[in-house]
């Protein structure tokens, strides 16, 4: 039996064990298990509402935005402007990393620099406008500003370093297997 077969069976066993646990929890009234099952349901419904629209928009981006435009604003010659553009684009992305990774792949396939892609992905995790507003309402605007003032330069710096390292090694993202 190969590794892929073992992995397939392990995933299947995990899904079955999860379903049995949640089912048993509902039958016996085990509250933590019921909560886990309900949370999965709420999360799944939220994703079903968000992802189809997001993927339609990604498809439109794929068709409507020219490769030359992406290369100009996010390509290897864009420099710091490309990283700032990646942060601004990430700040408006809805859906967090679930949407950011397909957008990042589309940007990469249209000629964006890999360092800018890293900036976009990292900024999608830390710089989204709704998240900042939520954070500021709980932690205060001063905290949010300080966090952004420290995190954004670190994201840009580390993305530039990693991008140059990978470019020096002629790294390419492979298409699906």
Mean pLDDT of the chain: 89
Same domain, 113 and 76: yes
pLDDT (tens digit per residue) in 111-127: 999 999 999 999 998 98
CB 67 within 8 A of CB 78: no
Residue 115 in any domain: the answer is yes
Residue 59 in any domain: the answer is no
Same domain, 161 and 121: yes
Same domain, 174 and 93: yes
Same domain, 98 and 154: yes
Whether 1 has a pLDDT exceeding 70, the answer reads no
pLDDT (tens digit per residue) in 26-48: 999 999 999 999 999 998 898 88
Nearby residues of 103 by Cβ (< 8 Å), 6 or more positions away: 58, 61, 89, 93, 120
Handedness of CA 84, 86, 88, 91 (dihedral sign): negative
pLDDT given for residue 117 in this prediction: 94
Residue 57 in any domain: the answer is no
In angstroms, rounded to a whole number, what is the distance separating the alpha carbons of residues 37 and 42?
9
In order, the DSSP letters of 35-53 are HHHHHHHHHHHHHHHHHHH
Same domain, 46 and 77: no
Residue 58 in any domain: the answer is no
Q: What percent of the chain has pLDDT over 70?
A: 96
Residue 149 in any domain: the answer is yes
Q: What is the mean pLDDT of residues 138-166?
A: 94
Least confident of 19-33, 50-64, 150-164: 50-64
Same domain, 36 and 69: no
pLDDT given for residue 18 in this prediction: 92
Residue 33 in any domain: the answer is yes
Whether 95 has a pLDDT exceeding 80, the answer reads no
Residue 60 in any domain: the answer is no
CB 62 within 8 A of CB 54: no
pLDDT given for residue 174 in this prediction: 72
pLDDT given for residue 151 in this prediction: 94
Same domain, 104 and 81: yes
Residue 27 in any domain: the answer is yes
Same domain, 14 and 87: no
Same domain, 175 and 89: yes
Same domain, 89 and 19: no
Q: How many structural domains compose the chain?
A: 2
Same domain, 84 and 141: yes
Query: What's the domain range around 153?
Result: 65-177
pLDDT given for residue 175 in this prediction: 66
CB 90 within 8 A of CB 124: yes
In angstroms, rounded to a whole number, what is the distance separating the alpha carbons of residues 105 and 99?
10
In angstroms, rounded to a whole number, what is the distance separating the alpha carbons of residues 96 and 112?
20
Same domain, 70 and 122: yes
Whether 13 has a pLDDT exceeding 90, the answer reads no
Whether 176 has a pLDDT exceeding 60, the answer reads no
């Amino acid at each position: 039996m190969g590794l892929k077969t073992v992995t397939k069976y392990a995933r299947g066993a995990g899904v079955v064990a999860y379903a049995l646990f949640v089912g048993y929890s509902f039958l016996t009234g085990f509250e933590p298990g019921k909560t886990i099952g309900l949370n999965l349901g709420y999360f799944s419904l939220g994703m079903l509402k968000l992802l189809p629209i997001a993927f339609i928009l990604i498809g439109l981006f794929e068709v409507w935005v020219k490769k030359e435009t992406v290369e100009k604003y996010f390509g290897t010659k864009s420099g710091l402007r490309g990283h700032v553009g990646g942060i601004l684009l990430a700040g408006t992305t809805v859906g967090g990393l679930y949407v950011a990774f397909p957008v990042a792949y589309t940007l990469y396939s249209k000629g964006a620099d890999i360092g800018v892609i890293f900036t976009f992905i990292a900024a999608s995790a830390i710089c989204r406008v709704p998240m900042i507003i939520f954070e500021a309402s709980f932690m205060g605007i001063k905290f949010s500003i300080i966090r952004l003032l420290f995190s954004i330069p670190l994201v840009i710096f580390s993305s530039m370093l990693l991008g140059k390292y990978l470019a020096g090694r002629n790294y390419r993202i492979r298409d699906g297997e």
